[in-house]
Structure 1
Amino acid sequence: MEISAATMDDALHKALGKIIKSKKAISLDSTKGSNRELVGVQIRISDPRARFSRAISRSQLFSSLGELFWYWGGSNRLDQISYYVKNYRQESEDGLTVPSAYGPRLFALRGKNQIDGIVNLLREKPTTRRAVIQLYDAEDLDSALSPPCTCTLQFLMRQGKLNLFVSMRSNDILFGFPHDVFAFTMIQEIISRRTGVELGEYIHSVGSLHLYANQQSKAQNYLAEGYQEKVPMPAMPEEDPSAAMLVLVRYEREVRLNQTLPAFPCGLADYWLDLARLLAIYKCYKKKDRETIEKLKNKMSASVYEQAISKRAGQIKWQTIRQEPLNFTSQD
């Protein structure tokens, strides 16, 4: 089955409708619960920058961003990712690490930095068909818990654009799919900048695309909102993003672990500073500091994030007697 869409939201809307209504969908019981499943689905997204949901009921911007920096930092630490996504606690055997984490596989699978490897391949031979990142490993067949849902990422440079083909063994449409699209299209855009070509299509192929029975009401709420306006993220700055991403990996750690908000990194373009502000806003949300969230929202350079920020702020009641807002260690 093929699904074509301009945005992640459109793709999610169409895929959910097919899982719920299509005669090709089957009902079955799995390890994680009863679900409806479509087998062999390919989803094409023509604008990978329209990578996070605009729907009120499905805004996952902050958890998706946290997961991206978890990957990019090469980490498998449970405490880091559970700060954003509590469900990862079910994937840990020792309460400290997540064996299926993508970060170590991206940057250190058998000592190989796969990101740098495929960038070098694409620079040396733009028409290569070998620019493939492996995430699922043979050893995962013996995993006691859930192995990686993603098998491979293949980057194909054609007609001056970088396309990304992702192969998934399994994908939870309501929660996993939006997170995967966000992280993988960000990686796609990073590599497009490093190789000096434009961003192409994102193609997401799934063996088992499913909706769990206990998520039916959330799915219906999302569908009831209708199709969302297409508002993509801004384009990344044209220079190599590697240095900025490493700065933000360090900043994410400081924000998450410090009691007060650290100063924002110096020398970053507005695009990257907005991502740093989003990390700070999520910290304020967890601390129920609506006042600082509103201040940070007013400093954002791109309006595309406003709805997601307002949703988080709206979940915090103004206190009659407010706690002291989180202070920055220096001026923004």
Structure 2
Amino acid sequence: MEFDTFHHAYTAVLRSLVDQPSYRNAPRGQPSSERLGVQYRLRRPSQRVPLVPARRLNIAFNLAEALWYLSGRDDLDFIAHYAPGIRKYSADGVRLTGTAYGRAIFGGDGRPDQWWTVVDQLRDDPDSKRAVVQIFRAEELTVPGNPDVSCTLGVQFLVREGALHAIGFMRANDAYRGMSSDVFSFTFIQELMARQLGLRLGEYVHTVGSMHVYDSDARRAREVLADPAAAADPALPFPEMPEGDNWPFVRHVLDLEEPLRLNRHRLDPAVDFPGLPDYWAQVLLVLELHRALRHGEPPDEGTAALLWPCYRWLMGKWRPDLLAGPVTLGS
């Protein structure tokens, strides 16, 4: 299957599982509908969100998860702030082992830094087929009752005709919930690497062994498919990263993420934005609004007014009480 944006891919995959599943099973006692060996291609991977009101995507979590990976951390405190339900996957209540893809990518616990190895590989030999970041580790299956086995096997990066393409390989993917965050993060990482290498953003291919929808999400999946926006072209473009090496801006955002998350800082554009491209300033604005929400503060209307239309729409649909005034796809 080939799609222009993830908006189109998301709804098509959901429909295939809701209308024509290949199997019914219940891994770990969770009934689901399943298709095996699912693969699709995104021609514009920067357009990485489904703009369907019924989905109510949590864009703050999507951005935070990508940043968590880029930080190379595996601590639960960071990511559980944005998705408290993820705590159930931690064996010790402190760390995540399989889900912490950043630790696998950037090293730690005796593992190598794969990011810079891949960057050097592609710089030395742009035609290489060896630029692979491995996520899944065989020893994960040797831990009895392991609650957090990596769903992702790895990501391959290929340079062809001046563009950086990426292929994500997953052993399993929850199409309703997990797929939206996985594709968001993998294409975000692909775009960051393309900019670092001075290349165009190529295509992204998502490859999954078991694509499934759990019965507990079946009603919500049908609501998404019944939403008229599911069949329409997305009217708002998702922002694209600025050209050049974005790592200094990633580090700046990460330096501010923690004090925002811990409510030790309130975003001040006059202080926090100088020298920061608008793209990354928008990420901080989303995190600031999330900070206010989590700590019981009314969102600042001036901050909300600075959001670009796509972020404003996503935040408004996720939490209708967050922003003043209606936000439509045509705005």
- Normalised by the length of structure 1, the TM-score is 0.90
Structure-1 separation of matches of 2:195 and 2:152 = 23
Q: Which of residues 221, 227, 245 is equivalent to 2:231?
A: 227
CA contact (8 A) 1:52 1:60 kept: no
Counterpart for residue 108 of structure 1: 107
1:39 aligns with 2:36: yes
Residue 15 of structure 2 aligns to a residue whose secondary structure is: helix
Q: Deviations over 1:240-282 (max 9, x none)?
A: 0111111111211111012441433431011110111111111
Structure-1 separation of matches of 2:318 and 2:176 = 19
Structure-2 separation of matches of 1:288 and 1:307 = 21
- When the two chains are superposed, the root-mean-square deviation of aligned CA atoms in Å is 1.7
Counterpart for residue 122 of structure 1: 122
Residue 194 of structure 1 aligns to a residue whose secondary structure is: helix
CA contact (8 A) 1:62 1:84 kept: yes
Residue 26 of structure 2 aligns to a residue whose secondary structure is: strand
1:295 aligns with 2:293: no
- Normalised by the length of structure 2, the TM-score is 0.90
| Runs of at least 4 residues off by over 6 Å | none
Structure-2 separation of matches of 1:276 and 1:92 = 27
CA contact (8 A) 1:163 1:201 kept: yes
Name structure 2 gaps, 5 residues minimum.
325-331
Residue 231 of structure 2 aligns to a residue whose secondary structure is: coil
Structure-1 separation of matches of 2:211 and 2:196 = 32
CA contact (8 A) 1:285 1:312 kept: no
Structure-2 separation of matches of 1:232 and 1:121 = 32
CA contact (8 A) 1:55 1:228 kept: no
Counterpart for residue 152 of structure 1: 154
Q: Which of residues 286, 289, 293 is equivalent to 1:281?
A: 289
CA contact (8 A) 1:49 1:232 kept: no
1:245 aligns with 2:220: no
- Structure 1 residue 228 displacement after superposition: 4.4
Q: How many residues align?
A: 313
CA contact (8 A) 2:151 2:171 kept: yes
Counterpart for residue 324 of structure 1: none
Structure-1 separation of matches of 2:288 and 2:50 = 20
Structure-1 separation of matches of 2:293 and 2:219 = 25
Superposed, 1:1-332 pairs within 5 Å as: 3-22=1-20, 25-31=22-28, 33-58=30-55, 59-100=57-98, 101-108=100-107, 110-143=110-143, 144-225=146-227, 226-230=230-234, 231-263=236-268, 264-292=272-300, 294-300=301-307, 302-316=308-322
- Structure 1 residue 317 displacement after superposition: 9.6
Structure-1 separation of matches of 2:122 and 2:164 = 10
Structure-2 separation of matches of 1:288 and 1:272 = 25
CA contact (8 A) 2:96 2:148 kept: no
- Structure 1 residue 28 displacement after superposition: 0.5
Structure 1 vs Structure 2: percent identity of aligned residues? Answer: 30
| AA at the equivalent of 1:304 | C
- Structure 1 residue 297 displacement after superposition: 2.1
CA contact (8 A) 1:161 1:199 kept: yes
Structure-1 separation of matches of 2:316 and 2:267 = 22
Residue 57 of structure 1 aligns to a residue whose secondary structure is: helix
Q: 1:248 to 1:26 in 2, by over 3 A?
A: same
Name structure 1 gaps, 5 residues minimum.
319-332
CA contact (8 A) 1:167 1:205 kept: yes
- Structure 1 residue 229 displacement after superposition: 3.2
Q: Deviations over 1:80-133 (max 9, x none)?
A: 111111221121011111111111111015342111111111111111000000
Structure-2 separation of matches of 1:228 and 1:63 = 25
Q: Deviations over 1:170-229 (max 9, x none)?
A: 100011100011111010000001111100111000000000000011101111113243
